[in-house]
Amino acid sequence: VHRHGDRSPVSTYTGDPNHDYWYKYGVTTLTQQGAQRMSDVGKFFRDRYKEIWPLKNDIYVRSSKVERCYKSVQSLISGAYNDDFLSNPIPVINLPTANDSMLYPAFHCLAFNEETLRVVNLTENVQWYENYKPLISFLMNQCGACATNLDTVYYLIDNIISSKTHNLPLPTWINDTISQQFEDIANHFFQFFCSTKLQQRLSAGVFFNEILKQMNLIQNNENFQAVKLYSTHDFLIIATLSALGVINPAAPPFGSTIIFEFWSNYATENFVRLYYLNDTYSQNPQLLNIESCGGEEYCPFEKFSGHIAQFVPDDWVKECGQIV
């Protein structure tokens, strides 16, 4: 399951040196660099899993209906099969975002929104925000409405991140201290949305159920696909990492991918091995050790399934209380 590739930012700001560059793309649109990144990810997958990689018409692909995700997985498929997706397309399953409880789940779930508001208003988070009031005042002097509250500061940071990944010039008031503060804010900001078990359950639970169903099919030697691809957003990546036990994971970079591998010794035991490709240019995924697996590289399937089953909702719609 991967985050989409590099995109244009949510917004520009007064004095943005890259306003004209972003204008040609529009808001939150996959860029040429993002498409190339995902094509490279596809080539990496094909090389890494060449022994089981399926024919193009046999691969399972599902995407968030948001265009940058859909185009990202198209680019990934083009890279993996060394052809142009649009000239030789395959089905990509997607649902309207309002109905997508797997790849776009959290923000139309009332219970999730209420829990997130509670987390934001915890004393330690209010104090954390207070510590950045001087930075916000400084930013307001530099770009006005770009930094009136935490949300607008994050949109500014989002713009800076996109500019950095595209090697574009940054505003003159950016220095090492502010860059570090921006990184800290971005990482902490994501913790507002994934720090409790309820948030993880409502964000990642439906996806975990999908993983369990697929692995049970493999374990029972029933009809299954060797490779399944899911194209989504940073919030599902961060929620999944948090639920897996990764402590305070950093904001997921463009193209970051969690890899779930199912292994069998063809006797009595089945195992799961997890990797996180958080730097797609390095093509060097990090091994993820789940605490409930005792730090084992090959986690017994029973332990893995027992861990993630606690996050699978019995009825996601019912647990949300209301779809908003």
Print pLDDT tens along the chain (324 aa).
999 999 999 999 999 999 999 999 999 999 999 999 999 999 999 999 999 999 999 999 999 999 999 999 999 999 999 999 989 999 999 999 989 999 998 778 999 999 999 999 999 999 999 999 999 999 999 998 888 888 899 999 999 999 999 999 999 999 999 999 999 999 999 999 999 999 999 999 999 999 999 999 998 888 889 999 999 999 999 999 999 998 778 999 999 999 999 998 766 789 999 999 999 998 899 999 887 888 889 999 999 999 999 999 999 999 999 776
The number of domains in the chain is 2
Is residue 218 domain-shared with residue 291, that is, in the same domain? yes
Q: Give the helix/strand (H/E) hosting 204.
A: helix 197-219
Is residue 42 domain-shared with residue 183, that is, in the same domain? no
Of 152, 174, 192, which residue is a domain's last? Answer: 192
Is residue 136 domain-shared with residue 222, that is, in the same domain? no
- Name 229's bridge partners: 61
319 occurs within a structural domain: no
Q: 261: which DSSP letter? A: E
In angstroms, rounded to a whole number, what is the distance separating the alpha carbons of residues 232 and 276? 15
pLDDT score of 265? 79
320 occurs within a structural domain: no
In angstroms, rounded to a whole number, what is the distance separating the alpha carbons of residues 137 and 146? 11
34 occurs within a structural domain: yes
324 occurs within a structural domain: no
Of 165, 192, 219, which residue is a domain's last? Answer: 192
318 occurs within a structural domain: no
SS3 44: helix
Is residue 214 domain-shared with residue 76, that is, in the same domain? yes
222 occurs within a structural domain: yes
Q: Give the helix/strand (H/E) hosting 199.
A: helix 197-219
pTM as predicted? 0.95
In angstroms, rounded to a whole number, what is the distance separating the alpha carbons of residues 116 and 97? 20
Question: What is the secondary structure of 125-138 as a DSSP string?
Answer: HHHHHHTTHHHHHH
pLDDT score of 275? 96
Is residue 70 domain-shared with residue 115, that is, in the same domain? no
Is residue 267 domain-shared with residue 236, that is, in the same domain? yes
- Count other C-beta atoms under 10 Å from residue 191's C-beta: 18
Is residue 146 domain-shared with residue 272, that is, in the same domain? no
What distances in angstroms separate CA 319 from CA 97, 197, 207, 314, 322, one per listed residue? 18, 13, 15, 8, 8
Is residue 98 domain-shared with residue 221, that is, in the same domain? yes
119 occurs within a structural domain: yes
252 occurs within a structural domain: yes
Look up the CATH number of the domain holding residue 243. 3.40.50.1240
pLDDT score of 290? 85
Is residue 97 domain-shared with residue 206, that is, in the same domain? yes
Of 192, 225, 258, which residue is a domain's last? Answer: 192
Is residue 13 domain-shared with residue 32, that is, in the same domain? yes
pLDDT score of 324? 65
Q: Which domain holds residue 226?
A: 2-107+201-310
pLDDT score of 123? 98
Is residue 116 domain-shared with residue 246, that is, in the same domain? no
pLDDT score of 289? 87
Is residue 207 domain-shared with residue 302, that is, in the same domain? yes
